[in-house]
Amino acid sequence: KLYCSSSEPHTQLYQCSGRQLPPYFLLLQCDSKENFLFHRRSDVLMMTPWFAPIVWEGTYNSEILNEQFRRRNVTVGLTVFAIKKYTVFLNKFLETAETYFMVGHRVNYYIFTDRPEEVPKVPLKEGRNVVVLQVQNYPRWQEISMRRMELINSFSQQRFINEVSYLVCVDVDMRFNDQVGVEILSNLFGTLHPHFYAAERQSFTYERRPASQAYVPRDEGDFYYAGGFFGGTVMEVYKLTKKCHEAMMVDKAKGIEAIWQDESYLNKYFVYYKPTKILSPEYLWDDDLGRPEILKKIRFLALPKNHAAIRNK
């Protein structure tokens, strides 16, 4: 018999000894007023081999989690890069974030842009702020993409560490489509890439050139992660972005650019520094891929766009 004796809301993971567990886990949540709440899904993988939860709809209790994070008085930083014409996505991004992102919690929107005058004035709820961080642009969109690691790293040390508890780093050409809350927060988290969440390792588009610092051998790696949604505590994000930026600079000195720029270095990092939580493709989806039945909610959705008309402009 499993039971919860604590008077404080919390979440525990129980493993039955002597039995082979299926490829998902049983999450028991309880507090002083409730008995057990069983959250399980048999249609998706819910835990990694290193016992990190994979977050899907139906695997957590948002009321319990919200109370935990409110008691901790948490402020969350959300970073986006709106360089050149990508400022056109800011209005939809911020409006939908105010509707769905970390509802009821304090948020700092950190907007990196070379066009601060184009940042829209979107009405914000109490405890939520837009912080504009002016940065330079670069001629090639690939360079802009890779510089994100350097800038997040620099500002994590200079500013973010003093202002927020967690950082969530996402792409701006997206809109929030459903609730994205504190269930995503952990020391270090990544998001399963929508193109590869159900794929075999052999098909992952890791950097395969041994000369690159982003190189991942074909017999290594667990999942393929999207570069457009990752985060964690400020210190863990600082360590991640520092390692990725240093690797990029080594490659740049050798004239090497990883196949998927910053995403390649992110994936290399997660191979050897395992995330403590993984987000399902609910948290980064593209409707060009349809709507698979396992996706009970689409939380963060790519906007239709003409890449050629926006990149390098």
Handedness of CA 310, 224, 281, 243 (dihedral sign): negative
For residue 63, the model assigns a pLDDT of 94
Residue range 188-238, pLDDT digits in tens: 999 999 999 999 999 999 999 999 999 999 999 999 999 999 999 999 999
DSSP state, residue 287: G
172 assigned ligand-binding residue: yes
Q: Has residue 14 got a pLDDT over 70?
A: no
Q: Which of 266, 289, 305 is nearest to 89 (CA)?
A: 305
144 assigned ligand-binding residue: no
184 assigned ligand-binding residue: no
Residue 312: phi, psi to the nearest 5? Answer: 60, 20
Residue range 268-283, pLDDT digits in tens: 999 999 999 999 999 9
Give the least confident one: 30-39, 103-112, 173-182. 30-39
Q: Which of 234, 233, 243, 232 is nearest to 271 (CA)?
A: 243
Question: What is the CATH superfamily name and number for domain 62-311?
Answer: Spore Coat Polysaccharide Biosynthesis Protein SpsA; Chain A (3.90.550.10)
For residue 18, the model assigns a pLDDT of 38
| Dist CA 184 CA 272 (whole Å) | 21
Q: What is the mean pLDDT of residues 234-252?
A: 96
38 assigned ligand-binding residue: no
263 assigned ligand-binding residue: yes
Query: What are the catalytic residues?
Result: 263
86 assigned ligand-binding residue: yes
Domain boundaries, the chain: 62-311
